Amino acid sequence: MSVEEVSRATRIPIPSLERLENDRFDDLPGEVFVRGFLKSYARAVGLPVDDVMARYSASRRVTQVTTIPVMSPIQKATKKRFGVAIAFVLLLVLFTLALSIVLKPRGRDLPLEISSWSTPSKVSASPEGAPISDVDFS
> Quick one: three-class SS letters along 50-95?
HHHHHHHHHHHCCCCCCCCCCCCHHHHHHHHHHHHHHHHHHHHHHH
pTM (2 d.p.) = 0.43
Which pLDDT tens digit goes with each residue over 62-78?
A: 555 667 676 666 555 56
53 burial type by CB count under 10 A (0-12 exposed, 13-18 middle, 19+ buried): middle
Which pLDDT tens digit goes with each residue over 41-60?
A: 999 988 999 998 988 888 87
Residue 129, Ramachandran bin (φ over 0: left; ψ between -120 and 50: alpha; else beta) = left
